[in-house]
């Protein structure tokens, strides 16, 4: 009979291990309860916070006056059921019982020894007991107790429903994690305070507990006075009257001031140590809400210029930099910055490259680093656009092979501009005005939107000159799925027909380009409204 039970138990365990439906359901509940990166967890947390607050409000009101029957029913059945289900789900997902059974079975088969059912049950019980005895699980369990109205004394545990909210508030969790990092120092301080409180309690009881002080009747009164005094609260309901008692009072006040200063320094140092981590968590939370993100890897001179232009154009961007001084510089410039190494795949995986990132701009001063970033980005996502800075021509080919779509070679560009300045100084001034946007001169691209007045029109149908614009080129969209999705037509003739997806490269003042883009957008909205 026992062997038959073990056989069915092992078979069922292997079934659970290979059942995609079971694994999917368990992973869903695990992510919903424990995974902060899971998109639906925040909604579950908000729902549980609402349940807790409403339950606490009902129980507090019910202390002095009777609440409506439906509120009583809601608190007694609905809230309690939700708490019990949540507790059981957390107990379920905290460990995998079937894996323990499979591990024991495979071990027994390998070593040709009997399957130990007692060992399996002990290990499963140990795993579950480890969760049950954890502080969050104890709070979850105690939070259920106020529902049993027959035992009125259990109403005091209503406060644990408020403590239960700690599980759903990231800020509070971070605060306690910061304190936990200094637990040795806090334990030491608490021990010293307990010792001084005990000594002061005994001393004041010896000096004034013999009838000298009418407010001290027991050692508990002395301990109460010592605790109130050492924390510098000083209610004043108990005050020493003898010279010895006042001397003890002065000593314990000085001790309390020193302890508070020590406690403050511990908390401040803990926050200083964890502040970068808190900042990174905040940045990641903000980034995970954005789409079409531009990653600027490196915040040197090139990275600063790129980030500045992206910010001015209203693009979403994130700077990735490992140098602390450059991270601080980017933060002072008002940018979202992640202190991390962009050459590591884990950094780009954490940012969900294929889902949220539009382009990766490798702008570090080291060509080899840019090659590694390009390789990592391209290996993780084939469709993301990669733009890489390159100083050495010999590295340019490597960057192309690594997957870079476009290369920026600052030294070569500077040399070409120098040649233009020497041979054509007037042309150089015009080009410099465009690049630096002096007098708001700039080159920009305008996409032909589906349904806009440009869609299906010819180049000659729009008077660019009257709108203070110069049309430099048209990037015609290709229907084939090639790597380069456009081909360029410079100085396009008037008879070229424009289609949705084509890109116009125009030059002019910022106000003229903004007005032109506004007309395109307005024509799309107008046609949609009319339709």
| Full DSSP string of 126-140 | HHHHHHHTSHHHHHH
118-122, 268-272, 315-319, 322-326: the lowest-pLDDT one: 268-272
Pair 366, 392: CB distance under 8 Å: no
Give SS3 for 262.
helix
| CA–CA gap between residue 166 and residue 132 (Å, rounded) | 17
Give SS3 for 341.
coil
| CA–CA gap between residue 465 and residue 473 (Å, rounded) | 14
For the chain, give the mean pLDDT: 81
16-20, 55-59, 125-129, 327-331: the lowest-pLDDT one: 55-59
| CA–CA gap between residue 314 and residue 417 (Å, rounded) | 28
Distance of alpha carbon 37 from the chain centroid: 7
Please state whether 340 falls in left (phi above 0), alpha (psi between -120 and 50) or beta.
beta
Residue with the larger pLDDT of the pair 408 and 11: 11
pLDDT (mean) for 66-73? 80
Tokens describing residue 157: 């545990």
Residue with the larger pLDDT of the pair 250 and 56: 250
Which residues are CB-neighbours of 330 under 8 A, at least 6 positions away? 299, 307, 319, 321, 337
- Architecture of the domain spanning 439-530: 2-Layer Sandwich (3.30)
Largest CA distance in the chain: 111
pLDDT of residue 428: 54
pLDDT (mean) for 150-177? 63
Element holding 361 (H helix, E strand): strand 357-362
pLDDT of residue 89: 93
Which residues are CB-neighbours of 195 under 8 A, at least 6 positions away? none
pLDDT of residue 214: 84
Residue with the larger pLDDT of the pair 152 and 431: 431
Among residues 381, 295, 385, the alpha carbon closest in space to that of 338 is found at 295
308-333 core/surface letters (b: 16 or more CB in 10 A; e: else): eebeeeeebbbbbbbeeebbebbeee
What percent of the chain clears pLDDT 90, i.e. is strictly above it? 5
pLDDT (mean) for 230-248? 85
Assign 61 a pLDDT band (cuts: 50, 70, 90): confident
21-35, 201-215, 299-313, 475-489: the lowest-pLDDT one: 475-489
Among residues 372, 299, 353, the alpha carbon closest in space to that of 330 is found at 299
CATH class of 183-276: mainly alpha
| Torsion from C-alpha of 73, 79, 83, 88, nearest 10 degrees | 60
Helix axes 170-180, 243-287, angle to 10 degrees: 130
pLDDT of residue 527: 55
Give SS3 for 213.
coil
DSSP state of 408: E
Most trustworthy range by pLDDT among 3-17, 19-33, 135-149, 276-290: 19-33
pLDDT of residue 49: 85
Query: Residue 482 pLDDT > 90, yes or no?
Result: no
Among residues 290, 280, 298, 295, the alpha carbon closest in space to that of 338 is found at 280
2-6, 119-123, 404-408: the lowest-pLDDT one: 2-6
pLDDT of residue 91: 92
Assign 238 a pLDDT band (cuts: 50, 70, 90): confident
Assign 437 a pLDDT band (cuts: 50, 70, 90): low
Query: Residue 29 pLDDT > 90, yes or no?
Result: yes
| CA–CA gap between residue 340 and residue 276 (Å, rounded) | 11
Distances in whole angstroms, Cα of residue 15 to Cα of each of 12, 96, 103, 314: 5, 13, 14, 53
Pair 317, 336: CB distance under 8 Å: yes
Pair 389, 396: CB distance under 8 Å: no
Distances in whole angstroms, Cα of residue 493 to Cα of each of 318, 496, 512: 40, 6, 22
Assign 216 a pLDDT band (cuts: 50, 70, 90): confident
Domain ranges of the chain: 2-168, 183-276, 291-408, 439-530
Pair 108, 116: CB distance under 8 Å: yes
| CA–CA gap between residue 10 and residue 100 (Å, rounded) | 10
Distances in whole angstroms, Cα of residue 228 to Cα of each of 193, 195, 410: 12, 15, 68
pLDDT (mean) for 221-248? 87
Query: Residue 484 pLDDT > 50, yes or no?
Result: no
pLDDT (mean) for 133-151? 71
pLDDT of residue 423: 56
Query: Residue 154 pLDDT > 60, yes or no?
Result: no
- Given strand 503-509, what is the order of strands in its sheet? 441-447, 503-509, 469-477, 486-490
Query: Residue 528 pLDDT > 70, yes or no?
Result: no
**CB count in 10 Å sphere of residue 258:** 12
Query: Parallel, antiparallel, or unpaired for β 469-477 and 486-490?
Result: antiparallel
Query: Residue 351 pLDDT > 70, yes or no?
Result: yes
| CA–CA gap between residue 474 and residue 459 (Å, rounded) | 9
pLDDT (mean) for 34-63? 82
Query: Parallel, antiparallel, or unpaired for β 469-477 and 503-509?
Result: antiparallel
Tokens describing residue 427: 């042309």
Residue with the larger pLDDT of the pair 156 and 63: 63
Query: pTM for this structure?
Result: 0.54
pLDDT of residue 529: 57
Residue with the larger pLDDT of the pair 472 and 12: 12
291-408: CATH topology: Rossmann fold (3.40.50)
Report pLDDT digits (tens) over 298-330: 888 888 888 888 888 788 888 888 888 888 888
Tell me whether the CATH fold assigned to 183-276 matches the one assigned to 291-408: no
Partnered with residue 318 across adjacent β-strands are 295
């Amino acid at each position: 009979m026992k062997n038959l039970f073990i056989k069915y138990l092992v078979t069922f365990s292997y079934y659970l291990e290979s059942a995609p439906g079971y694994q999917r359901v368990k992973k869903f509940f695990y992510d919903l309860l424990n995974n902060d990166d899971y998109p639906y967890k925040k909604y579950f947390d908000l729902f549980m916070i609402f349940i807790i607050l409403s339950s606490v409000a009902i129980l507090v009101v019910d202390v002095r006056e009777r609440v409506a029957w439906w509120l009583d029913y809601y608190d007694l059945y609905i809230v309690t059921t939700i708490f019990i289900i949540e507790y059981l789900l957390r107990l379920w997902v905290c460990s995998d019982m079937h894996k323990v059974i499979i591990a024991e079975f495979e071990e027994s088969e390998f070593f040709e020894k009997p399957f130990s059912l007692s060992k399996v049950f002990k290990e499963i019980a140990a795993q579950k007991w480890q969760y049950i005895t954890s502080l969050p699980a104890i709070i979850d369990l105690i939070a259920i107790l106020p529902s049993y109205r027959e035992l009125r004394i259990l109403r005091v545990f209503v406060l644990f429903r408020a403590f239960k909210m700690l599980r759903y508030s990231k800020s509070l969790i971070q605060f306690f994690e910061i304190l936990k990092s200094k637990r040795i120092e806090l334990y030491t301080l608490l021990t010293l305070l307990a010792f001084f409180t005990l000594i002061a309690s005994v001393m004041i009881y010896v000096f004034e507990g013999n009838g000298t002080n009418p407010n001290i009747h027991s050692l508990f009164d002395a301990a109460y006075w010592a605790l109130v005094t050492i924390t510098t609260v000083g209610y004043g309901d108990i005050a020493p009257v003898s010279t010895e008692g006042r001397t003890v009072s002065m000593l314990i006040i000085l001790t309390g001031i020193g302890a508070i200063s020590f406690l403050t320094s511990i908390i401040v140092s803990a926050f200083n140590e964890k502040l970068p981590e808190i900042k990174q968590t905040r940045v990641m939370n903000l980034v995970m809400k954005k789409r079409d993100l531009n990653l600027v890897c490196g915040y040197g001179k090139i990275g600063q210029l790129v980030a500045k232009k992206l910010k001015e154009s209203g693009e979403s961007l994130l700077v990735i930099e490992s140098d602390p001084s450059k991270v601080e510089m980017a933060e002072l410039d008002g940018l979202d910055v992640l202190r991390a190494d962009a050459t590591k795949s884990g950094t780009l995986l954490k940012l969900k490259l294929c889902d949220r990132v539009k382009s990766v701009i490798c702008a570090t001063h080291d060509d080899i680093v840019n090659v590694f970033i390009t390789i990592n980005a391209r290996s993780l996502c084939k469709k993301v656009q990669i733009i890489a800075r390159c100083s050495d021509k010999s590295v340019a080919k490597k960057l192309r092979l690594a997957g870079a779509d476009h290369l920026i070679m600052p030294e070569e560009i500077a040399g070409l501009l120098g040649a233009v300045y020497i041979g054509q100084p007037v042309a150089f001034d015009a080009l410099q005005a465009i690049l630096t946007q002096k007098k708001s001169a700039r080159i920009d691209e305008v996409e032909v939107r589906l349904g806009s007045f440009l869609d299906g029109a010819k180049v000659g149908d729009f008077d660019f000159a009257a709108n203070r614009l110069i049309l430099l080129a048209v990037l015609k969209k290709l229907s084939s799925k090639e790597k380069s999705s456009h081909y360029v037509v410079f100085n396009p003739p008037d008879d070229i027909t424009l289609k949705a997806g084509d890109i116009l490269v125009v030059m002019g003042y910022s106000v003229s380009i903004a007005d032109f883009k506004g007309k395109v957008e307005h024509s799309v909205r107008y046609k949609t409204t009319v339709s």
